[in-house]
Amino acid sequence: MPLPERALISRIRSMSASERRTGGAVVAGIGDDCAVLRANAGRDVLVTTDFTLEGVHFRRDWHPAESVGHRCVTRGLSDIAAMGGQPVAVFLSLALPGDLPQRWVDGFMRGILNQSERYGATLAGGDTAESPNGVLADIVVLGAVPRGQAVLRTGARSGDGIYVTGALGGSAAAVVQLRDGRKKPLDPRQYPRHFFPEPRVKLGRILREKKLASAMIDTSDGLSVDLAHICDESGVGAEVEADAIPLARVGRPSHQVDLKLGLHGGEDYELLFTARPNRRIPARIEGVPITRIGCIKRGRKILLVNGEGTRQELLPQGWEHFRK
């Protein structure tokens, strides 16, 4: 059974190292009616919110508790990264079933807290309640960016190059394995991008500071969907070269994932961005490979070009979660 609310909150407070840290943008965190954040005239505030639902985004028999917490907060941190921002504070509303073991909650909170602190964000508040059915977590991540400098989805223009960080399809490859009805749990070390993804916070900030990215998004829904978001918001089309897409390597011995997963698999939390043709984009930033996968075109269609030069329309395919 999870601890009752007051005991749970005090346990979370004592688990949180950043709770003991003073200064910075979080003036007062957990423990009062509101968190107090210090406003700064030179900066814009970024806010992102995400649901993590048992049975939809994770399964308790498939995902270790720490991985669930890690992935839950990474979704928000990755959104901040996609704006070129710095994470500041995390708020967590958590509904837990009455029969959930407290050690599961501890593992989940460790995942949330370690990952938040790694990226400089403080857990500054939230709420808890009993859930009639499954774990429900609603996470809000606040970030900051110099005033007027957030990298939006609206900035892509015809002629811009399209780039992606890291590799794609690694997270979805784990989902394929998990869905396969396997008996043994999947080894998280063989599928780190699924169980313990890292948001590209520093890389996003560098792209913004050096004014390299004209538009940016994180790959949470899959390349075909996320690129369609940039194109829709910018009012442009695109051409993507199938052979150029960096495909993740997974498993042991490792193998490259199928193109289909690279195109449509979600939850890799890489950055997808566009850059003006005169911008020289380094092959690596902070050790992370950056790959040019195509270019922005006039019109509204997104085309996939294969090795022989054949073009077909690349339609956004929704990312399925764990729902049966």
Contact positions vs Mg ion (CB under 5 A): 79, 218, 220
Task: Output the six-digit token pair for 173.
Answer: 């490859």
* Concatenated DSSP letters of 178-237: HHTT-SSPP-GGG-HHHHS----HHHHHHHHHTT--SEEEE-SS-HHHHHHHHHHHHT-E
Task: Decide whether 115 or 220 has the Cβ nearer to Mg ion.
Answer: 220
Q: β-strand 86-97 against 122-131: which pairing, if any?
A: parallel
Q: How far is the CB of 272 from Mg ion (least distance, A)?
A: 10
Task: Decide whether 194 or 200 has the Cβ nearer to Mg ion.
Answer: 200
Q: What residue has token string 């939850």?
A: 267
Task: Decide whether 18 or 115 has the Cβ nearer to Mg ion.
Answer: 115
Task: Decide whether 106 or 218 has the Cβ nearer to Mg ion.
Answer: 218
Taking the alpha carbons of 290, 295, 301, 302 in that order, is the dihedral positive or negative? negative
Q: How far is the CB of 70 from Mg ion (least distance, A)?
A: 17
Element (H, E) at 108: helix 102-118
Task: Decide whether 96 or 141 has the Cβ nearer to Mg ion.
Answer: 141
81 in Cβ contact with 200 (< 8 Å) = yes
Task: Decide whether 220 or 224 has the Cβ nearer to Mg ion.
Answer: 220
Q: How far is the CB of 206 from Mg ion (least distance, A)?
A: 18
Cis peptide before 253 (omega within 30 of 0): yes
Q: How far is the CB of 150 from Mg ion (least distance, A)?
A: 13
> 130 pairs with which residues across the strands?
96
Q: How far is the CB of 124 from Mg ion (least distance, A)?
A: 21
Q: How far is the CB of 266 from Mg ion (least distance, A)?
A: 11
- Helices 201-209 & 65-82, crossing angle to 10 degrees? 0
Q: How far is the CB of 218 from Mg ion (least distance, A)?
A: 4
140 in Cβ contact with 48 (< 8 Å) = yes
Task: Decide whether 30 or 81 has the Cβ nearer to Mg ion.
Answer: 81
Task: Output the six-digit token pair for 306.
Answer: 């294969």
Q: What residue has token string 């710095």?
A: 86
Task: Decide whether 218 or 268 has the Cβ nearer to Mg ion.
Answer: 218
| 3-class DSSP assignment, residue 112 | helix
Q: How far is the CB of 143 from Mg ion (least distance, A)?
A: 12
